[in-house]
Chain A
Amino acid sequence: MTDVMTDRSLQRLRVAIVDDEELARSVAREFLSKMADVEVVAECANGFEAVKAVSDLSPDLLLLDVQMPKLDGFEVLELVGRDVAVVFVTAYDQYALRAFEVHAVDYLLKPFSAERLAAALGRARERLDRGERGAARDVEQAQRLAAAARPRSHAGRILVRDGPRVHVLPAEKIDYVQAQDDYVSFRCEGKEYLKEQTLAQVEASLDPAKFVRIHRSFVINVDRLARVELDERDNHIAILADGRRLPVSRTGHARLISLL
């Protein structure tokens, strides 16, 4: 097993091309077709297709455009960054620093040459040889950086990957977020969505004027708060609009008061 894994340079590099422009995909496809030991396993016209391709085909490498409809390149990286190496391909040089922070293998500026693409693939092979499959060495780092690097101010939405599918949760539709071991669960329109993240990261990525941490394990959307009550042991309890009761800690109560 390890013998097979150690020398990737002998293996075919399985690449997925992600770009919303057909012509941009075709130039990458043309260059890759002339390279030995490279196989284009998928061409994706948007981020959702890219996430699905990573789940279904587990390519080694994504050639990933940044500006795309619905999900941009950094959001795709946030969702699949642990499973696949990423080379960004874009006309915009201003994302280079962010790409570096989220451990992208390389950053290609359009228009690019076949040689430049080959060099990027070489770097990807090197990294895969070292056994670093994903773009990020640890997921938390990737998620934190992806969240921090997100251009949308105060994440107007939360992206949750569910295998090949991506759920887009608009922040205003989230009722509350609950910490559950290594995961957080988002309560949104009557459903629960699990995401591998810490509650602190979620709290940092949401609008502090709308979301407040009322407890070690809970961040709530203040728009959903109906009232705060005291229980028989003088603990504060938050009652949400749907009647759900959530515990409020002493510091959480102070935060709630200062926000309201």
Chain B
Amino acid sequence: MHPILSRGERLAAYLAVWLVIGILLATVLTGQGLEWPEALALLLPLCLVYSFVCLSAWYVCRATPLRTSGLSRVLATSGLAALVSGALWLGLARAWIAALSELSVFATRADVFLDQAPFLFASGVLLFLLALAVHHALIAFETVTEAERRQLELEVLAREAELRALRAQVDPHFLYNSLNSISALTKSDPDGARRMCILLGEFLRETLRVSGRARIPLSEELALAERFLGIEQVRFGARLRIEQHVDAAASLCRVPPLVLQPLVENAITHGIAGLLEGGVIHLDITRLNGRLAVALENPRDVDSPAPTGRGVGLDSVRRRLTTMFGSTATMRTEIETGRFRVELDLPCSVDD
């Protein structure tokens, strides 16, 4: 988009400046013995036409952007364009003088005008150069504004992505059920209700915090999963039992955020919740030879239908692993009668 033509108010300001230029040039010419009306009649229409010629400076600017083109190239192109424009301006002036003489509108003395040819040519060249400078400035200004706007847009997008990640990560039904548990505890066990509120608050805050980061230590991911389990423990009571074995050395490994908690959530929603008596979730995390192995196993109802809805949470884990580790990380799931097992195998990097 042309920075001047595309905006009405800029075009008006631009033409106003040219009006002033026309008057200034006319003042110079009156100093050379011309009458005011004559000088204005010559220069104002000329300036109006030339102002539009000078808008073409934009194309010159675009052809030789300051940032990428060499100085000599910029100078050569600009100078050549200015000379051509100056010649055009002089030609226009001559034609207009001839026309005015023909019409005998004024007591025009064409020879006096023609004496001013060098001055007119020089002013045409300078005016074009000036126009070039203005266009360069405007383009630079727009580039900066555009960059700022983009930066702002990116920030908004990042924020949205964060919230979307949270929404995708935290199942709203988990929240509804937790709130229902709190509602039940409020009367029977106020302290329990308060504990649950705090757990829930911490879980949400932590989820939001880690989901904005590229990598977190496994220990943080474990803590998040444990908060989640703590909340679900209140809901499911004795039906939900955990057995976990975590290598102390493993907790330092850096992993993408939210790779563990969705597995735990999956084990509860599609496993424990479907069993009358509940069951035990086994979580084993080991670090060996620079690799991190996570195995999570849960019982599931033998009669429950083949898992169709399963996978939103697991898919997100798979995606996170692929994004970070490419083909060096794998995720494997295994469904047997009454049992579901998921295994992650990924490189363990401890440094930052």
Contacts and interface: CB of A to CB of B under 8 A. Distances in A.
Interface of A: 20-24, 26-27, 30, 45-46, 67, 69-70, 91-92, 109-112, 152-153, 156-157, 168, 170
Contacts of A168: 303
A23 B236 CA distance: 9
Nearest to A29: B184
A112 B181 CA distance: 11
Contacts, number: 61
Contacts of B301: 69-70
Contact of B184 (A27, A109, A156): A27
A41 to B, nearest CB: 20
B31 interface: no
Contacts of A21: 177, 181, 235-236
B177 A70 contact: no
Interface residues of B, number: 24
B274 interface: yes
A91 B180 contact: yes
Contact of A69 (B180, B181, B187, B276): B276
Interface string B209-245: 0000000000000000000000000111100000000
A117 B302 CA distance: 35
B308 interface: yes
A69 B177 contact: no
A67 B52 CA distance: 73
B305 A91 contact: no
Interface of B: 173, 176-177, 179-185, 187-188, 234-237, 273-276, 301, 303, 305, 308
Contacts of B235: 21, 23
Contacts of B273: 20, 67, 69
Given A21-B236, A23-B234, A26-B184, A69 B275 contact: yes
B180 A26 contact: no
A69 B184 contact: no
A91 B183 contact: no
13 contacts: A21-B177, A21-B181, A21-B236, A23-B184, A23-B185, A23-B237, A24-B180, A26-B188, A69-B273, A69-B276, A70-B303, A92-B173, A170-B303
A27 B183 contact: yes
B239 to A, nearest CB: 8
Given A21-B235, A30-B187, A91-B180, A156 B275 contact: no
A257 to B, nearest CB: 30
B311 to A, nearest CB: 16
B178 to A, nearest CB: 9
Contacts of B305: 152-153, 156
Contacts of B177: 21, 24, 91, 110
